[in-house]
Structure 1
Amino acid sequence: MENLALTGDHEQIDRCLRALAQGHGIWRSDLVDRLKGEWSPLQRHWNINLASGLEAVRNIVWSNLIGYIENLYPRRAHRPVSPEDVDWSKEVAEISFNASTKREAVVLRRSSLQQRRDWLLLKYGRDRSASMRSLQRILDEAIEQIAERMVKVAAGAASSPGVSVELATPPRPPRQGNSLAHLVELSGELQQALNFVRDACKAQNRIFYTSDLLVTLLDLPGKRAAQCFDEATHIGQAVSIREQLAATLGDDRHHEPFVPFTWLERSDVQLAAEYAISDGRLVVSELHLLLAILDSDSATNRWLQRLLREEYPQVRAVAERHRHNGPTVVNSPTPDGLW
């Protein structure tokens, strides 16, 4: 009986995702009404508060889609899958749902699926040997994988603690970073705060997201990361960002299970360590980590880009300036005040 229920759920999600890709995609004006009605399986799986307004609902739909799209992995029967294949599948899926954050894709917001496919063929068709048929095949495969993973997440498919449901996705290769990165550590205050959040995720059996990283930075007593957002945009922006991310993280209905990790196994922390080394330091500060998040390809960073729009580059510029000119971290674990 359970297998039959999961099969029915998969079919419903598949149908909803195919409908979502039609018309204006996530930019359709009737998105809330559709989620109240025939697309209610998506609303249920993503636990969307439909009373929060169209923009907030669209952000939740977008962030969930991007999270799943980032884990897409094309299947090829007759040849190995290349990194270009993976990137192309993600690009086609994002454009199909009208969820791309690329500047050149802004013109597609009021386009139909057919118009978005025409745009892809015009822009990339020759380089990718793409066709309408191949674009449909990629979308079909993306929807199949997304629906499958949504059902697994909802059913708690990983029966053993610490086992990810993303078993079909090959692990990302480690960053080819600075050979001294393993000597770098997080500042005392930063590591204590991040360890607390990681332990909480483990206790809840919830995967640790980049959003957890950013919320932790915004909550640190020194407020150096929060200051970057407020200075680049307006007072209160950091609080708003923190509240929106915390609300999403607080929803426990669609999170994947916890996967054990060390901090230097994360690519963003590795990048932050490289920034620290380039500054002649062996301790990662919250600004190093903020810059690494802003330079990452995470769903959280894409969400920030979409939220802040033209103000987004200013956040990085302010963080970069404070990185070099701001005060050092008081609670440094090193005797010479390195941060």
Structure 2
Amino acid sequence: MLQMEGMCLYFLVVILVMVLSVQSQGGLRPGFYSSSCPKAEVVVRSTVTSHFNKDPTVAPGLLRLHFHDCFVQGCDGSVLIAGSSAERNALPNLGLRGFEVIDDAKTQLEALCPGVVSCADILALAARDAVDLSDGPSWKVPTGRRDGRVSSSSQASNLPSPLDSVAVQRQKFAAKGLDDHDLVTLVGAHTIGQTDCLFFRYRLYNFTKTGSADPTINQSFLAQLQTLCPNGGDGSKRVALDIDSQTDFDVSFFKNVRDGKGVLESDQRLWGDSATRSVVENYAGTIRGLLGLRFDHEFPKAMIKMSSIEVKTGRDGEIRKICSKFN
């Protein structure tokens, strides 16, 4: 009898731990579609691979698309909605790319498993696959998100900006439950990112109206950037955020920030704050006597944490039939 009670207690504890584990990720869990749509992740992966093989720059596009989605109303696919007043048409979102990849995957999944796989989950899976295809780490994506029913451009005003100081970046990330370590780790996604000359050219010629360049820019790198983005030239010309290895998901970005070769002001400012600088130093491998942080291990953790922001699960939200339209 006592043995039976002990076994019952044991199973209750196991169940409680499992419930708490699921709750800790907002009701998400890896393999959410294993029964309802077993090929869901395979379809997303093959779709991302197909688009990536045609244009590898779609990888940072998908990663940024997921990031921007999660920072406004949580990871609910609201950034995918089309419309003049929708979130994707807010000024910080005008350069977003990769919508066609998500739409392609959704079309295939609707034919295979109608009304089952959310657009928000497709986006989270696609971001993971984009990193993996860029020679970065892979990870098990907790799924089970549902799509939001609201998408407003006015709610995207607080997205991180290239002009943000570390203090402002810290505040914006903290508002989403992310700390300094998460901030630096997630910004490391810029290792495969691109930006327009428009967003950093002010650093090259007339920084803070001084008539000279931002003094934190490495002098040889300054000349390189001025060649790429001449004063008065095409502001829409795209430049890699990690010029040394722009297609590889590696730690080169952090070494560049260490050496004064950050393209965006917000990236370079990470070196000027003691808390964020220590994380950059770890990833760049410049702290002697310490084992250092492994970026390829830490990035998946930060992504799982970010992709769990304010998710909608259970009966909240909906499963869209078309990612760019509410049902």
TM-score by length of 1: 0.28
Q: Flag the structure with more relative contact order, 1 or 2, with Cα contacts below 8 A and sequence separation at least 6.
A: 2
